[in-house]
Structure 1
Amino acid sequence: MPNRLAHETSPYLLQHADNPVDWWPWSDGAFAEARERNVPVLLSVGYSSCHWCHVMAHESFEDRATADYLNGHFVSVKVDREERPDVDAVYMEAVQAATGHGGWPMTVFLTPDAEPFYFGTYFPPEPRHGMPSFLQVLQGVHQAWEERRDEVTDVAGKIVRDLAGREISYGDAKVPGEQELAQALLGLTREYDPQRGGFGGAPKFPPSMVIEFLLRHHARTGAEGALQMARDTCERMARGGIYDQLGGGFARYSVDRDWVVPHFEKMLYDNALLCRVYAHLWRATGSELARRVALETADFMVRELRTPEGGFASALDADSDDGTGRHVEGAYYVWTPAQLREVLGEDDAELAARYFGVTEEGTFEEGASVLQLPQRDKVFDAARIDGVRTRLLAARAERPAPGRDDKVVAAWNGLAIAALAETGAYFDRPDLTEAAVAAGDLLVRLHLDDHARIARTSKDGRVGANAGVLEDYADVAEGFLALASVTGEGVWLEFAGLLLDHVLARFTDPESGALYDTAADAERLIRRPQDPTDNAVPSGWSAAAGALLSYAAHTGSAPHRTAAERALGVVKALGPRVPRFIGWGLAVAEAVLDGPREIAVVGPAPDDEATRTLHRTALLGTAPGAVVAVGTPDGDEFPLLAERPLVRNGPAAYVCRNFTCDAPTTDPDRLRAALGG
């Protein structure tokens, strides 16, 4: 019989709806039940494409004996970290402080007042590798709760007091200057892997936000070392197994330093960020590889992640059926030489093995290989390779497909909107821009209420109950601002402004300018989460700074500009010390130092060819954080168009900084030179 999770919208929670565990969603009712029964709370946090979450569910939560013990001695609460990033952040901070590491599934034991006292991640069903079994952990926690209650509550209170004292402090809160950005670049250079690209060792994550900083820094200063790190890292990733060489799109990370073997789940946020990175790399260098990867990644998102409602689903699982009934990580993506021969025949299979690096020994497990492009300097017959790729892709489509997490996360859709809008504009792919507009329409229609408060998620056209957090407001505003620049429709600028008004009013400390991940009127947790550092996505803090800055450039709003600059004080403090983890903040700081530039393109009519040429030239400029408005003279949708007349009755572009403009130009080449394009 289904438990309480059967009525949730989260695919992850729904995966546990038939467990024998009497799960509760995160709710006041769960903690009231724990108080009434005088038992602790088991908090289990994960997400639908998490491999070890599935493993622990199968081993423990589907086990009747384990479930009976849980149901008798605990109130069990299951949380999708992607729906409730605030709950995840608060308790992950406690886990990391107590154990020195973290991960998912996250397993935390709480008092009925939601105060944590014992922590872990995955626990096996029997003792293994020095870890106790999950049942032993449950028994130990129950015994401590019954026999040493005072000690347990003292520990919980100390942890909560320690977390409450971790407010962000960042000195004079000034915008980073040349010195801090140079120190950040030096720090990145020291951590750079010149043989393999990327930063640090295994596991290796795509450094999307850092690459954006490197591209902007090169555009502003001409620093060739910054461009070289960005270009080489992008090439290594694109040629590695982390990139899907048949269907496009990136896996979440590489388990090795060489980008060969990925953790096979594909996340919307990674692909949105990397699509934009490769589009920006092409804009800076003209690289054909960057162009191909940007378009293939955009096409992957539209083909495999788009929902019937026009939004984008969160993820594809790492695991799938291998054809024998086993659920195996990577089964959908890997190949053996025998499988190549079965699809392609002997001659083409031999070519495919050399081209994609498929060996008899294998590069993954059980003799299978992850497809990559290891031979950088060898020339292959392009037409023949295209035929091979098409046949392999068709054969792969016959395999059991990985599961898809269909929930629409507002923040990640904002990132996808920005990427698809720009990629569509750069490469004359209006279908991609139209997909971005459709996703924006869905967010406005379904996720925004009458007061422009945004809901975190939806699924199947049904909006979720969880309030948006800072990254939702910031990333959706970023996506809407990109739509405004690309489409020339000022309504997107208006919607961005409504979202950013909430950032100023509900997420910003009026005294310090610091930002919080949850609104002032959000559900109170044991701590109000606050983190300016990037993880797999830009921090809400940095994303808000960037969107506030762009909105100020569009409108001349001093409060938005001031808020952006105050927020960047944390980048001044952290950028020189930990540049890998505050890349988007560094990228926003580059925009501040460059202006950012405001480009107004005016023309006699929206469909005028010369106007379109100037508009596209403006979008292709590499000046960091530049904003673009296009329309007719004195168009009321964009403040940048005010008092910008035609030149000799024809279209013209005005390049401004802080609303002080150069002489207008009608020449695309001059505009390109003015914008570093």
Structure 2
Amino acid sequence: MPNRLAHETSPYLLQHADNPVDWWPWSPAAFEEARRRDVPVLLSVGYSSCHWCHVMAHESFEDQGTADFLNEHFVAVKVDREERPDIDAVYMEAVQAATGQGGWPMTVFLTPGAEPFYFGTYFPPAPRHGMASFPQVLEGVRAAWADRREEVGEVAGRIVRELSERTLALGVAAPKEGEDGAAGPRPPTVEDVHRALMGLTREFDAVHGGFGGAPKFPPSMTLEFLLRHHARTGSEAALQMVQATCEAMARGGIYDQLGGGFARYAVDATWTVPHFEKMLYDNALLCRVYAHLWRATGSDLARRVALETADFLVRDMRTAQGGFASALDADSDDGTGKHAEGAFYVWTPEQLREVLGAEDAALAAAHFGVTEEGTFEEGASVLQLPDTELLLDAQKLASVRRRLLAAREQRPRPGRDDKIVAAWNGLAIAALAETGAFFDRPDLVQAATDAADLLVRTHMDWHARLFRTSLDGVAGTHAGVLEDYADVAEGFLALTAVTGEGVWVDFAGLLLDTVLVRFTGADGQLFDTADDAETLIRRPQDPTDTATPSGWTAACGALLTYSAYTGSGAHREAAERALGVVRVLGPKAPRFISWGLAVTEALLDGPREVAVVGPDDHPATRELHRTALLSTAPGLAVAVGAPESDPAAAEVPLLANRPLLAGRPAAYVCRAFTCAAPTDDAGVLARSLAGGE
């Protein structure tokens, strides 16, 4: 008999709908049931492409005996962390504070008042390596609830108090002589950025690229910061870190050498063996990084990877409604009925011979680093690109890849989480719009526009409030969080730059006004949830960038760009105040505030604004527009459209009062709406946008 998850829209929750565990979705009714029965709540948080979530589900939640014990002594609540990042953030903070680590599946035991008192992540079905089994944990919690209730209450109360007392220290500078004594948060300075850069340099892996050791995650936001820093200052050291890291990832097993796109992370320091799940957000962010690296250097490798990743997104992640699915699983059927991680992607020499024949298989094995010993499990290899890339000429390589990809398509595919997450689609919109514009791929720009249309139609209501998720064209019931508003606005503004359609500035403005009203607190601090969102034991607030830009730093970037298009002082001031946190975290933990540092580079550069005016079908208009888009100036805002003398009638305020130059299309380069003399020469425009300091 299906449990209460059968009517949910989250693919992750639906995966558990037939468990013998009597799951509840997160809801007031679940906690009321716990109060009525006087039992604790088991909160289990995961996501659909989480390997160990599936392992624990198979070992414990599909086991009848374990389920019977759970159903008798607990109310079991299942949460999709991608659908409810607010719940995940609050209880993960408690898990990390109590245990010093975190991860998924997250397993937390709560009082009926939703107060946490016991924590963990994955628990095995039997004791292992000093780790208690899940049945032992359940029995221990049951006994504590029955026999030491007062102690449990004291622990829960202390944890909630400690969480509620945590505060964020924003970058507050002492007032200068003659200034008002009540100094507020100040944006980071050139010196703050320099100190952060020195920290990154110390952490850089000069041998294998990237930062830190194993496991190694793609540092997309750090790379974007370094590219912007190079553009502003000319720092060759910053550019070299980007080039080394991007080349190492593109040649490693973390990159899908046949179908494009990146796996979630590498389990080693050399980018060789990946954890095979593919996330929308990783690929959107990395697609943009490689496109920007090509823009800065003209690298053929960066161009290829950007386009292949964009094509992967459209081919494998796009849904029937025009949005982009959340993730592809790591596991799939290995052809024997057994699910195995990476089965869809790895190859043995024998499999190469079956598809290519002996001669081409030998060349392909050498080209992709496939050995008899294998780089993965059971003699299988993850495809890589060794330095000797000329083992196959372009024509032969194209043939080999085409045949291998066609053969791979016949394998059982990894599961796909078709849930549309607003924030991650915003990231994809920005990446596809820019990649399409850079490489003359209007189909990619159209894919970005289609996804933006879906967000407006399905995720956005008449009050400029966002729903976080949708499935099959139907919006979920969960309110958008700060990252949704910020990343969707970022995507809309990128579409404005590429298409010239001012309506996207209008939509971005509606979302960012909601950020100012509903998500902004004292001293410019930002919260992850709106002020009218569901009340949890703590209002989540985290400025650190992890797998994606935090809602906080993403909002800073979108607010700053919007102010460049519109001249809004309120939005720019909000961005500057919120960036105060970068002064605190940048020098101490630069990898975890990298998007904040990237936004800071835009702030230090202006950001510059380019207004291109002229008929949209005029070759000179198109040339000036493309020149502006290909500028590396950090955070550059680009508007293109017909000349408009009436500011109130201009689709984008940046275009207002920008006449043609002697009847010819022209470009105006501005900072804070103060412009240099216009030019009708694309070469002059390019030179005026080159360099920063």
* TM bracket (short chain): over 0.9
| 8 Å Cα contact 2:107-2:119 kept in structure 1 | yes
Residue 500 of structure 1 and its aligned partner are, at CA, apart by 0.2
- The answer to whether structure 1 residue 627 and structure 2 residue 627 are counterparts is no
Picking from 456, 480, 486, the partner of 1:468 is: 480
Picking from 585, 601, 620, the partner of 2:612 is: 601
Equivalent position of 1:536 in the other structure = 547
Equivalent position of 1:188 in the other structure = 200
Equivalent position of 1:231 in the other structure = 243
The one-letter amino acid of 1:520's match is: D
Residue 151 of structure 1 and its aligned partner are, at CA, apart by 0.2
- The answer to whether structure 1 residue 504 and structure 2 residue 516 are counterparts is yes
Equivalent position of 1:365 in the other structure = 377
- The answer to whether structure 1 residue 408 and structure 2 residue 420 are counterparts is yes
Q: Name the CA distance, whole Å, in 2 between partners of 1:379 and 1:562.
A: 55
Equivalent position of 1:339 in the other structure = 351
Picking from 211, 216, 219, the partner of 1:207 is: 219
- The alignment yields a C-alpha RMSD, in angstroms, of 0.8
The one-letter amino acid of 1:146's match is: A
Map 1:141-290 onto structure 2 (within 5 A): 141-172=141-172, 173-290=185-302
The one-letter amino acid of 1:422's match is: E
Equivalent position of 2:11 in the other structure = 11
Q: Name the CA distance, whole Å, in 2 between partners of 1:171 and 1:538.
A: 19
The one-letter amino acid of 2:554's match is: A
- The answer to whether structure 1 residue 646 and structure 2 residue 665 are counterparts is no
Partner deviation per Cα, 1:483-521 (whole Å, 9 max, x = no partner): 111111100000000000010000001x31000000111
Q: Name the CA distance, whole Å, in 2 between partners of 1:661 and 1:591.
A: 17
Residue 376 of structure 1 and its aligned partner are, at CA, apart by 4.4
Matched residue SS, 2:125 = coil
Map 1:391-430 onto structure 2 (within 5 A): 391-430=403-442
| 8 Å Cα contact 2:199-2:587 kept in structure 1 | yes
TM-score w.r.t. length of structure 2: 0.97
Partner deviation per Cα, 1:447-467 (whole Å, 9 max, x = no partner): 001101000000011110100
Picking from 575, 580, 588, the partner of 1:577 is: 588
Q: Name the CA distance, whole Å, in 2 between partners of 1:26 and 1:11.
A: 15
Q: Name the CA distance, whole Å, in 1 between partners of 2:388 and 2:215.
A: 23
| 8 Å Cα contact 1:420-1:435 kept in structure 2 | yes
Equivalent position of 2:628 in the other structure = 618
Matched residue SS, 2:198 = helix
Q: Name the CA distance, whole Å, in 2 between partners of 1:55 and 1:610.
A: 59
Q: Name the CA distance, whole Å, in 2 between partners of 1:672 and 1:371.
A: 40
- The answer to whether structure 1 residue 561 and structure 2 residue 575 are counterparts is no
Equivalent position of 2:684 in the other structure = 670
Q: Name the CA distance, whole Å, in 2 between partners of 1:24 and 1:167.
A: 32
Residue 380 of structure 1 and its aligned partner are, at CA, apart by 3.2
Residue 375 of structure 1 and its aligned partner are, at CA, apart by 2.4
Residue 435 of structure 1 and its aligned partner are, at CA, apart by 0.3
Equivalent position of 1:320 in the other structure = 332
| 8 Å Cα contact 1:73-1:142 kept in structure 2 | yes
Map 1:488-527 onto structure 2 (within 5 A): 488-509=500-521, 511-527=522-538
Q: Name the CA distance, whole Å, in 2 between partners of 1:302 and 1:577.
A: 38
Residue 171 of structure 1 and its aligned partner are, at CA, apart by 3.7
Q: Name the CA distance, whole Å, in 2 between partners of 1:512 and 1:124.
A: 45
Q: Name the CA distance, whole Å, in 2 between partners of 1:469 and 1:4.
A: 25
| 8 Å Cα contact 2:281-2:427 kept in structure 1 | yes
Partner deviation per Cα, 1:288-325 (whole Å, 9 max, x = no partner): 10000000000000000000000000000000000001
| 8 Å Cα contact 1:355-1:375 kept in structure 2 | no
Q: Name the CA distance, whole Å, in 2 between partners of 1:568 and 1:374.
A: 41
| 8 Å Cα contact 2:169-2:584 kept in structure 1 | no
Picking from 548, 561, 565, the partner of 1:550 is: 561
- Structure 2 residues not aligned, in runs of 5+: 173-184
The one-letter amino acid of 1:619's match is: L
Q: Name the CA distance, whole Å, in 2 between partners of 1:429 and 1:359.
A: 37
Residue 377 of structure 1 and its aligned partner are, at CA, apart by 6.2
The one-letter amino acid of 1:169's match is: A
Partner deviation per Cα, 1:98-129 (whole Å, 9 max, x = no partner): 00101000000000000000000011111111
| 8 Å Cα contact 1:42-1:76 kept in structure 2 | yes
Equivalent position of 1:131 in the other structure = 131
Matched residue SS, 2:635 = coil
Q: Name the CA distance, whole Å, in 1 between partners of 2:501 and 2:529.
A: 30
Map 1:8-87 onto structure 2 (within 5 A): 8-87=8-87
Picking from 437, 448, 456, the partner of 1:436 is: 448
Q: For this pair of structures, how many residues does the alignment match? A: 675
Segments ≥4 residues shifted beyond 6 Å = none
Residue 630 of structure 1 and its aligned partner are, at CA, apart by 0.5
Matched residue SS, 1:601 = strand
The one-letter amino acid of 1:499's match is: L
Q: Name the CA distance, whole Å, in 2 between partners of 1:462 and 1:171.
A: 42
Partner deviation per Cα, 1:220-239 (whole Å, 9 max, x = no partner): 00010000001110000000
Q: Name the CA distance, whole Å, in 2 between partners of 1:7 and 1:377.
A: 51
Q: Name the CA distance, whole Å, in 2 between partners of 1:377 and 1:506.
A: 53
Picking from 658, 661, 664, the partner of 2:672 is: 658
Q: Name the CA distance, whole Å, in 2 between partners of 1:153 and 1:367.
A: 53
Residue 26 of structure 1 and its aligned partner are, at CA, apart by 0.5
The one-letter amino acid of 1:649's match is: G
- Larger CA deviation: 667-676 vs 216-225: 667-676
The one-letter amino acid of 1:613's match is: E
The one-letter amino acid of 2:446's match is: E
Partner deviation per Cα, 1:300-353 (whole Å, 9 max, x = no partner): 000000000000000000000000011000000000001001101111000001
| 8 Å Cα contact 2:458-2:473 kept in structure 1 | yes
Q: Name the CA distance, whole Å, in 1 between partners of 2:687 and 2:291.
A: 19
Equivalent position of 2:176 in the other structure = none
| 8 Å Cα contact 1:41-1:76 kept in structure 2 | yes
| 8 Å Cα contact 2:171-2:582 kept in structure 1 | no
Partner deviation per Cα, 1:351-379 (whole Å, 9 max, x = no partner): 00100000000000000000000224655
TM-score w.r.t. length of structure 1: 0.99
Matched residue SS, 1:107 = strand
Q: Name the CA distance, whole Å, in 2 between partners of 1:465 and 1:254.
A: 35
Residues 161 and 491 of structure 1: CA distance in aligned 2, closer, same or farther (over 3 Å) = same
| 8 Å Cα contact 2:254-2:263 kept in structure 1 | yes
Matched residue SS, 1:406 = strand
Q: Identity of counterpart residues, as a percentage? A: 75
The one-letter amino acid of 2:603's match is: V
